[in-house]
């Protein structure tokens, strides 16, 4: 009897060891977060068929309903012979919290054809904790929080110490900015150097955006790095855009669509087209652009602004475009400011577009864009008023927050004095005039008509309602602008740079504008 009992115990021990032999060894960690997807990565001790179950966090138990299984597939075929599993969760909703679990089923034998013998299932633990959670990036609202880590060089303990004081529940993503290891020699090294420490600190719920450093190009295992940090498109270096994108188009001449493509501007995101006047070189690109937006599936309304005469011009353009699958609202302007937040949620509170009368041969307008900046947020005041941390972003965006006790907290209750914002001014076609000088006051970027390069051409410029290089520079100087770009050159000007000294003699910082020229205007960090 004793011998039989010993045999039974030995068999039980053997069974236990066999069951434990297949397991999840590393992860999960999240990668390449976007507004509509994220990639889940983990490793198992043996080859397995793996899947993810994911659902929106609606407050109910994760197991209140059955969830679709998401598999890694290649050409429609499930991957079942891998130990490193990477599953892209697609078609998610922006700015939404999700919960998920990972599952892997051991593939014990694959004899022939599709005769597969499966073994045990390993899954993320749900007995001692809730399912993992993450939130997709927003498409509206511009406030995000992130952490940048780089040059760890394999010091996992050091990284863990850096991460310890951070509340990752308030962080949208973590950017790995290169040189996380000295070199890439093996999977074990990757896990030891930083992956396991990342999973322990945040990576199962706060996604990693990975950017390869020079040290990650070293080592015999370097070519395998994309398997551990997969990216949509396969490139290490990419532009991530999170939050709102708001786009205004100033005039629409021939070649506008081609220029936008070269500059990487998505015109589908247009909120409005602002016409300065109705000469052909400023509007002949409109019919084609409006048709293209329709062919690309635009449904959102589009606003068309312009000076006097829009009521006659728009019907003619409308005839050329034919039927459109989206509404176009044509608005004739005077000089009243436009609240841009009425166009889309991509604009900060208080953003204004102000048209002003210019001096051309026909009714014309220039445009001034003002982007205000709220005062500094005071966390101590927010805590004293018992404002929940998730609501802090809303207050910074200019929204009032109702509390459970019935009180309402306004942005002014937690924000300091307003800080200096940003100002952009576009002259359109114009001769010098007081309205232009007034609009350009303290502009961060001023684009001005510079049709004629030579100072001796002032009389000709006045006759045709344009400016010379030096006249535009004089306005920039009087207005105290920070950056000044010349534009709208005469077709006779083959090399604008040759005449640039005429402008720089008046305003030394003058620059020649050209197709595709770009700049990122940033708020002054210390401005009040």
Nearest-angstrom CA–CA distance, 229 and 225: 7
**Which of 228, 249, 284 is a domain's end point?**
228
Asked whether the beta carbons of 306 and 316 are under 8 A apart, the reply is no
pLDDT in tens, 446-489: 999 999 999 999 999 999 999 999 999 999 999 999 999 999 99
Quick one: pLDDT at residue 377? Answer: 87
My answer on whether 113 and 75 are in the same domain is yes
Q: Is residue 527 part of a domain?
A: no
> What CATH number should be reported for the domain holding residue 206?
2.60.40.10
> What CATH number should be reported for the domain holding residue 368?
3.60.15.10
My answer on whether 327 and 348 are in the same domain is yes
DSSP, collapsed to helix, strand or coil, labels residue 298 as coil
Q: Enter the tokens of residue 132.
A: 């993992």
My answer on whether 182 and 42 are in the same domain is yes
**Which of 228, 249, 274 is a domain's end point?**
228
Tell me which residues of the chain have a pLDDT lower than 70: 1-20, 127-128, 139-143, 236-244, 525-528
DSSP, collapsed to helix, strand or coil, labels residue 52 as strand
Nearest-angstrom CA–CA distance, 18 and 12: 10
My answer on whether 311 and 385 are in the same domain is no
Q: Enter the tokens of residue 438.
A: 């007034």
Asked whether the beta carbons of 36 and 92 are under 8 A apart, the reply is yes
DSSP, collapsed to helix, strand or coil, labels residue 428 as coil
Asked whether the beta carbons of 496 and 489 are under 8 A apart, the reply is yes
Q: Is residue 248 part of a domain?
A: no
DSSP letters spanning 369-421: EEEEEPPPB-HHHHHHTT--GGGHHHHHTT--EE-TTS-EE-GGGTB-SPEEE
Residue of 99, 165, 126, 122 lying closest to 24 (CA atoms): 122
Q: Enter the tokens of residue 361.
A: 């041969």
My answer on whether 181 and 283 are in the same domain is no
Quick one: pLDDT at residue 238? Answer: 61
- What one-character DSSP code corresponds to residue 113? T
Quick one: pLDDT at residue 178? Answer: 87
My answer on whether 194 and 111 are in the same domain is yes
Q: Is residue 251 part of a domain?
A: no
Catalytic residues: 281
Q: Is residue 265 part of a domain?
A: yes
Quick one: pLDDT at residue 239? Answer: 60
Q: What angle do CA 196, 201, 202 make, to 5 degrees?
A: 100
My answer on whether 385 and 430 are in the same domain is no
- What one-character DSSP code corresponds to residue 452? B
My answer on whether 40 and 132 are in the same domain is yes
Asked whether the beta carbons of 290 and 321 are under 8 A apart, the reply is yes
My answer on whether 385 and 504 are in the same domain is no
DSSP, collapsed to helix, strand or coil, labels residue 469 as helix
Nearest-angstrom CA–CA distance, 413 and 429: 44
Q: How far is CA 348 from the centre of its chain?
A: 15
CA dihedral 313, 314, 320, 323 (to 10 degrees): -170
Q: What angle do CA 336, 339, 344 make, to 5 degrees?
A: 145
Say if pTM beats, i.e. exceeds, 0.85: no
My answer on whether 138 and 115 are in the same domain is yes
My answer on whether 26 and 138 are in the same domain is yes
My answer on whether 199 and 323 are in the same domain is no
Q: What are phi and psi of 396, to 5 degrees?
A: -65, -25
Q: Enter the tokens of residue 412.
A: 């002014």
Nearest-angstrom CA–CA distance, 212 and 277: 48
Number of domains in the chain: 3
Nearest-angstrom CA–CA distance, 37 and 397: 25
Nearest-angstrom CA–CA distance, 211 and 215: 11
Maximal C-alpha separation, the chain: 118
Which residues form the domain of 295? 259-374+416-512
Nearest-angstrom CA–CA distance, 36 and 241: 12
Give the CA distances from residue 25 to residues 121, 181, 191, 199, in Å, rounded to whole numbers and listed in that order.
13, 20, 10, 12
Quick one: pLDDT at residue 394? Answer: 77
Asked whether the beta carbons of 41 and 86 are under 8 A apart, the reply is yes
Q: What angle do CA 383, 387, 392 make, to 5 degrees?
A: 95
Residue of 300, 301, 285 lying closest to 249 (CA atoms): 285
């Amino acid at each position: 009897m004793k011998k039989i009992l010993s045999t039974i115990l030995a068999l039980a021990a053997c069974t236990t060891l066999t069951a434990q032999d297949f397991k999840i060894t590393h992860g999960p960690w999240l990668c390449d977060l976007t507004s509509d997807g994220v990639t889940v990565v983990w490793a198992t001790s043996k080859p397995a068929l793996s899947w993810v179950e994911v659902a929106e966090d609606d407050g109910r138990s994760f197991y209140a309903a059955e969830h679709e299984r998401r598999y890694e597939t290649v050409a429609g075929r499930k991957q079942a012979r891998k130990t490193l599993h990477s599953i892209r969760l697609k078609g998610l909703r922006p700015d939404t919290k999700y919960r998920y679990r990972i599952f892997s089923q051991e593939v014990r034998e694959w004899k022939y054809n599709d005769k597969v013998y499966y073994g045990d299932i390993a899954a993320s633990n749900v007995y001692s904790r809730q399912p993992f959670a993450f939130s997709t990036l927003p498409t509206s609202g511009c406030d995000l929080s992130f952490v940048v880590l780089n040059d760890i060089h394999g010091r996992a303990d050091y990284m863990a110490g850096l991460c310890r004081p951070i509340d990752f529940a308030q962080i949208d993503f973590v950017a790995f900015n290169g040189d996380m290891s000295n070199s890439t020699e093996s999977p074990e090294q990757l896990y030891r150097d930083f992956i396991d420490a990342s999973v322990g600190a945040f990576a199962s719920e706060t996604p990693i955006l990975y950017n390869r450093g020079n040290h990650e190009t070293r080592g015999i295992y370097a070519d395998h790095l994309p398997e551990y940090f997969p990216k949509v498109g396969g490139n290490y270096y990419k532009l991530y855009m999170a939050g709102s994108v708001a786009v205004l188009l100033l005039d629409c001449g021939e070649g506008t669509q081609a220029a936008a493509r070269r500059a990487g501007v998505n015109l589908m995101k247009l909120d409005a087209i602002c016409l300065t006047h109705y000469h052909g070189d400023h509007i002949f690109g409109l019919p084609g652009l409006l048709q293209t937006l329709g062919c690309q599936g635009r449904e959102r309304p589009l606003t068309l602004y312009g000076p006097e005469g829009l009521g006659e011009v728009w019907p003619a353009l409308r005839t050329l475009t034919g039927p459109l699958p989206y509404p176009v609202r044509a608005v004739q302007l005077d000089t009243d400011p436009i609240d841009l937040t009425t166009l889309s949620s991509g604009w900060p509170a208080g953003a204004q577009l102000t048209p002003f009368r210019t001096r051309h041969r026909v009714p014309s307008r220039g445009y001034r864009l003002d982007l205000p900046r709220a005062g500094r947020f005071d966390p101590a005041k927010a805590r004293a008023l018992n404002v929940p941390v998730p609501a802090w972003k809303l207050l910074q965006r200019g929204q009032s927050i109702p509390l459970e006790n019935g009180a309402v907290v306004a942005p002014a209750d937690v924000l300091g004095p307003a800080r200096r914002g940003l100002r952009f001014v576009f002259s359109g076609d114009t001769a010098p005039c007081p309205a232009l000088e007034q609009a350009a006051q303290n502009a961060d970027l001023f684009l001005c008509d510079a049709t004629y390069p030579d100072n001796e051409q002032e009389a000709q410029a006045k006759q045709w309602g344009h400016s010379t290089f030096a006249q535009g520079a004089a306005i920039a100087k009087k207005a105290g602008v920070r950056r000044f770009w010349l534009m709208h050159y005469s077709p006779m000007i083959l090399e604008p740079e040759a005449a640039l000294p005429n402008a720089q003699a008046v305003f030394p910082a003058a620059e020649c504008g050209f197709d595709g020229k770009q700049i990122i205007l940033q708020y002054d960090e210390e401005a009040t």
